[in-house]
Structure 1
Amino acid sequence: MGAIELKAVEKWFGDVQVIKGVDLSIQDGEFVIFVGPSGCGKSTLLRMIAGLEETSRGQVMIDGRDATAEPPSKRGLAMVFQSYALYPHMSVAENMGFSLKTAGASKAEQAEKVAEAARALRLEDYMDRRPKDLSGGQRQRVAIGRSIVRDPTAFLFDEPLSNLDASLRVEMRYEIAKLHQQLASTMVYVTHDQVEAMTLADRIVVLSAGIIEQVGAPKTLYERPDNLFVAQFIGSPKMNVIALPCDGLRLEGAPANAAHLGIRPEAITIGSKGQGEIDGTVDVAEYLGADIFLIVDCGAAGKLTVRTHGEDELRPGAEVGLSFTPEKRHFFDGAGLAIR
């Protein structure tokens, strides 16, 4: 079992409160990802679960027991850090089995669990190598394997892929997703990378300034954000937001209390000037192969990002009209809360 529950947890550093009464339930076997801007408290919250940071107030429950005062070694959790922290003088097999050795496990048990982890992570061909002879992705797999052999209650990942280049991050995302499917273990993961969050998570926890802004499945957060912060944080490129009322905006059907209109780049279609909700001039065209992102200067509404097909031929300076898909419009009140 690997259920984790946070009950009104707070973290203070002197007079500064960085975690402000967070409540969160993580189910056994769930993959939950913490995201948010730098300084929002996501890594601090993960370290509080691990026991590496003291919980100032509230409770950390693991499998129904109060683990708030327990040291990290008693919580049954395994943490994978941004740095691999492998022993350079040890082989891959020795690195992976070291925690079992120090715990007094027999050589047979060590060999069995290390071999099982190696198969899961496709490391069988590297067991005799030293860390210096491995790629970054292979080192990260060894670090994960070192955690697997301990058969933990849950895995905690603190930005494990941030040191890897783009191609290796893609590879390791696949490895971690497959690992979660194989092990069916609880995983709590911190990242600043939205692609990691959207592709890996069962649920995403969006944090800002020590509070939870919204918790939900990636699709829910993308399509039904609770507030302006989540609307603009989730999604790349981010949601376009127009303050209401706005000169030049031909908008019908807006709620009376709407202070902002949000529209995703892919929910805007390009037409002739005078058509749709607003006119603008193409400022920049970013060609990405299958897609083109157009930055359109719409005067008082600001610069809106439009996602179009890669075969479109619009050039900077072209005058266009933008139409917003009616069912994809998002409205927010003066406090930034979604109007349903």
Structure 2
Amino acid sequence: MASIELKAVEKWFGNVQVIKGVDLAIEEGEFIIFVGPSGCGKSTLLRMIAGLEETSRGQILIDGRDATAEAPSQRGLTMVFQSYALYPHMSVRDNMGFSLKAAGEPKDKIAAKVDHAAEVLKLGAYLDRRPKDLSGGQRQRVAIGRSIVRDPTAFLFDEPLSNLDAALRVEMRYEIAKLHQSLSATMIYVTHDQVEAMTLADRIVVLEGGKIAQIGAPRELYEHPANLFVAQFIGSPKMNVFSAGLVRGAVGGEQAAQIGIRPEHISVVEPGAGEMDGQVDVIEYLGADTFLIVDCGAAGRITVRTDGESARSPGDPVGLLFAPGKIHAFDAAGQAI
């Protein structure tokens, strides 16, 4: 396991700065996830930690050692990419042990490490198969196993589940969570999927435009977003946001320019009985939940999460009542009040 620290790291491509002075301390055994929209710099930051991208300014420390100028092979890290990059002509066993064989490790040591990784990842029955005979999820497990056998100080994952279908992504999220529990290894994981971030991370690093917008545990980011960007990025469906002047009553104080409320913190009441009135526009039935998309005029469309038994119909006039203590207020600069 390794602690990793970034000190004011920057990355420039010519005259374009893509990482803008990032400071971050990652503890031993911690599961950290970089999340943000496309182009925010999350994969670039991961590649800088791996040594695959040069750090323009600042320092990268691994276990207190300055690794900024070290080659990737010297850092003791291992990376799992979006593509599996398996050798098609090799068996699962040979794919997983290839890096050790190339390094000149003894055959018995290689076999022991491969068998251990296969046991952890439940790949024992597939060791003699070739990649073409495996499902997408099994191939990704082989790619992870190839990293485990190297006994790295930390694992780096670059959107490892994005090539899988929805059902396999759920399965592999479980596998990666169990892997972290069993290995207690330091893991840094990049994704654009905030559901992956919420379900896997010890702490989430939300990136916006090459800077850290907020760092915190999933619950902290969900319940106490530091700004409007984080408030709307974390959570599905996203937080409803509208002008503070459109809400009945003194909500958020005089400094509030915008008000935010999550869909599950709104109750449907009779018109006039809540903070806002509107008309049901669209109903999205999902079984246990029903989402009501309510047209609230100048406030726009407000999403309300109700139970699956909701009897509302399109065109129904409704009032929206906001749960006390669950209203988020933001100033004119988008910062939480």
CA deviations 1:217-267 (Å, max 9, x no partner) are: 000000000000000000010000011212xx3123431111111000000
* Structure 1 equivalent of residue 289 of structure 2: 291
Aligned length: 337
What amino acid is the match of 2:262? R
Gaps of 5+ in 2: none
Q: Give me the whole-angstrom Cα distance separating, in 2, the residues matched to 1:64 and 1:243.
A: 47
2:252·2:328 contact (CA, 8 Å) conserved in 1?
A: no
Deviation at 1:103, TM superposition (A): 1.0
Q: Give me the whole-angstrom Cα distance separating, in 2, the residues matched to 1:244 and 1:326.
A: 16
Deviation at 1:104, TM superposition (A): 1.1
1:257 aligns with 2:259: no
Q: Give me the whole-angstrom Cα distance separating, in 1, the residues matched to 2:192 and 2:314.
A: 32
* Structure 1 equivalent of residue 184 of structure 2: 184
Q: Give me the whole-angstrom Cα distance separating, in 2, the residues matched to 1:288 and 1:251.
A: 33
SS in 2 for 1:12: strand
Q: Give me the whole-angstrom Cα distance separating, in 2, the residues matched to 1:56 and 1:274.
A: 58
2:87·2:95 contact (CA, 8 Å) conserved in 1?
A: yes
What amino acid is the match of 1:211? K
* Structure 2 equivalent of residue 306 of structure 1: 304
SS in 2 for 1:6: strand
What amino acid is the match of 2:34? F
Q: Give me the whole-angstrom Cα distance separating, in 1, the residues matched to 2:35 and 2:313.
A: 36
* Structure 2 equivalent of residue 85 of structure 1: 85
* Structure 1 equivalent of residue 234 of structure 2: 234
* Structure 1 equivalent of residue 323 of structure 2: 325
| 4+ aligned runs moved over 2 Å, structure 1 | 251-254
SS in 1 for 2:90: coil
Q: Give me the whole-angstrom Cα distance separating, in 1, the residues matched to 2:155 and 2:3.
A: 11
What amino acid is the match of 2:217? A
2:276·2:320 contact (CA, 8 Å) conserved in 1?
A: yes
2:244·2:251 contact (CA, 8 Å) conserved in 1?
A: no
* Structure 1 equivalent of residue 270 of structure 2: 272
- TM-score, length basis structure 1: 0.98
1:315 aligns with 2:289: no
Q: Percent identity?
A: 75
Q: Give me the whole-angstrom Cα distance separating, in 1, the residues matched to 2:51 and 2:253.
A: 47
| 1:114-263 alignment, distance < 5 Å | 114-246=114-246, 249-263=247-261
What amino acid is the match of 2:228? L
SS in 1 for 2:45: helix
What amino acid is the match of 1:6? L
What amino acid is the match of 1:308? T
Deviation at 1:194, TM superposition (A): 1.1
SS in 1 for 2:6: strand
CA deviations 1:286-319 (Å, max 9, x no partner) are: 0000001111001111110000000011111000
Gaps of 5+ in 1: none
What amino acid is the match of 2:179? L
Q: Give me the whole-angstrom Cα distance separating, in 2, the residues matched to 1:293 and 1:251.
A: 25
Q: Give me the whole-angstrom Cα distance separating, in 2, the residues matched to 1:121 and 1:253.
A: 51
* Structure 1 equivalent of residue 68 of structure 2: 68
* Structure 1 equivalent of residue 335 of structure 2: 337
Q: Give me the whole-angstrom Cα distance separating, in 2, the residues matched to 1:50 and 1:160.
A: 16
CA root-mean-square deviation: 0.6
CA deviations 1:86-138 (Å, max 9, x no partner) are: 00110000000001111111111000000000000000000000000000000
Q: Give me the whole-angstrom Cα distance separating, in 2, the residues matched to 1:74 and 1:102.
A: 16
